[in-house]
């Protein structure tokens, strides 16, 4: 079977390559450790060569941090509100030494923040490709290093907000007086729930006012050193959910779709009932589905743009 498209989901820490079949299904996947912040000696060119080695010379579409200021080529953002089909009309082309052309998807910018995203817009396109959205649109939660709360209506991203929950957790766990040097333990669900409860009851002061309680609880013997990380995880995730309710990014009993890695999404779903939130998991490779949808909108699959 022929290959009409090669897709690249190229973030800051990893590169995932997809070879599609004629039906738009992923026929082969490759995962490489070459993100925009960690590249082989030959940089983006060598990483790309490894990703597509031996694959047919099909059109290539890439999304993510490959189009950032520190990426292979900086691609301008599109402002919200933005219909996701518009992504296909705003690609930036980069010529690779092997004669291929790599088309890079633009990110999105919300002027109201201001706020920006790269890569998530293609995952959102994948959500739209897999299911019809309810009247009035849908709200998405995309957990990660930088969580995104996104509103999509009538095929357009109308706005979004970033919360740096994952990065804050990493900093607190590895570089603060709260977590640095403490042992790792197995998942402590009670400590996680304790952190969620601390965020829920923090009131107007918010979860930051409860951070130092992690150290106090440990010194008192109420929290084992190996459980501090789970407490901090619950506190930060819980505070993100508390903020979402306060800011109107989510509403009680109105489902929010989760888009992200299963293990992290499971933690958010574990915390959600404490805030009356319903978080629904989304299955499948949404980045791949989004790349196919954007390629279709761009005409890459029908020869109007050539690789």
Residue 305 CB contacts under 8 Å (≥ 6 apart), including other chains:
59, 91, 103, 298, 299
Distance CA 270, CA 287 (A): 25
pLDDT for the residue numbered 22: 93
Where on the phi/psi map is residue 181: left (φ > 0), alpha (ψ -120 to 50), or beta?
left
pTM, to two decimals: 0.93
Domain boundaries, the chain: 6-162+285-302, 164-276
In this predicted structure, what is the pLDDT of residue 31? 97
Beta strands 78-79 and 108-110 are: parallel
Tell me the mean pLDDT per 10 residues along the chain, length 307. 91 96 95 96 97 95 97 97 96 94 98 97 92 74 97 95 97 96 92 98 95 97 97 98 96 92 96 97 91 96 54
* Integer Cα distance of 156 and 123 in angstroms: 13
Burial (CB < 10 A; 0-12, 13-18, 19+), residue 228, is: buried
**Tokens 């959600």 sit on residue:** 272
Three-state SS letters, the chain: CCCCCEEEEECCCCEEEEEECCCCCEEEEEEECCECCECCCCHHHHHHHHHHCCCCCCCEEEEEHHHCCCCCCCCCCEECCEEHHHHHHCCEEEECCCCCEEEECCCEEECCCCEEECCHHHHHHHHHHHCCCCCCCEEEEECCCCEEEEEEECCEEEEEEEECHHHHHHHHHHHCCCCCCCCCCCCCHHHHHHHHHHHHCCHHHCHHHHCCHHHHHHHHCCCCHHHHHHHHHHHHHHHHHHHHHHHCCCCCCCCEEECCCHHHHHHHHHHHHHHCCCEEECCCCHHHHHHHHHHHHHCHHHCCCCC
Q: Which CATH number is associated with domain 6-162+285-302?
A: 3.30.420.300
On whether the 164-276 domain is CATH 3.30.420.310, my answer is: yes
Please report the pLDDT score of residue 304 as a whole number. 45
Two domains, one topology: 6-162+285-302 and 164-276: yes
Q: Edge-to-edge strands of the sheet including 15-20?
A: 26-32, 15-20, 6-10, 60-64, 101-104, 92-95
Q: How many other β-carbons are positioned within 10 Å of the β-carbon of residue 85?
A: 16
Query: In whole angstroms, what is the distance from residue 22 CA to residue 293 CA?
Result: 13
């Amino acid at each position: 079977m022929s290959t009409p498209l090669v897709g690249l989901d190229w973030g800051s820490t990893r590169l995932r390559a997809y070879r599609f079949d004629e039906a738009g299904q992923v026929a082969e996947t490759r995962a490489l450790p070459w993100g925009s912040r960690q590249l082989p000696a030959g940089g983006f060119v060598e990483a790309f060569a490894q990703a597509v080695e031996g694959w047919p010379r099909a059109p290539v579409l890439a999304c993510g941090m490959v189009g950032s200021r520190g990426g292979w080529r900086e691609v301008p953002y599109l402002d919200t509100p933005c219909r996701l089909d518009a992504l296909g009309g705003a690609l930036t082309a980069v010529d690779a030494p092997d004669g291929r052309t790599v088309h890079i998807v633009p990110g999105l910018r919300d002027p109201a923040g201001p706020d920006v995203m790269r890569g998530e817009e293609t995952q959102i396109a994948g959500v739209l490709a897999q299911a019809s959205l309810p009247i009035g649109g849908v709200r998405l939660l995309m957990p990660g290093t930088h969580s995104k709360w996104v509103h999509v209506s009538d095929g357009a991203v109308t706005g979004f907000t970033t919360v740096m929950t994952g990065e804050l957790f990493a900093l607190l766990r590895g570089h603060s007086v709260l977590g640095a040097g403490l042992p790792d333990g197995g998942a402590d669900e009670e400590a996680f729930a304790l952190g969620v409860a601390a965020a829920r009851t923090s009131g107007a002061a918010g979860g930051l006012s409860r951070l130092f309680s992690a150290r106090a609880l440990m010194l008192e013997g109420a929290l084992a050193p190996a459980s501090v990380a789970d407490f901090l995880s619950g506190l930060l995730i819980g505070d993100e959910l508390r903020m979402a309710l306060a800011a109107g990014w989510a509403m009680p009993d109105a489902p929010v779709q989760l888009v992200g890695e299963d293990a992290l999404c499971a933690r958010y779903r574990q915390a959600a009932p404490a805030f009356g939130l319903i978080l629904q998991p989304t299955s499948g490779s949404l980045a791949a589905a989004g790349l196919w949808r954007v390629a279709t909108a761009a005409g890459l699959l029908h020869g109007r743009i050539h690789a």
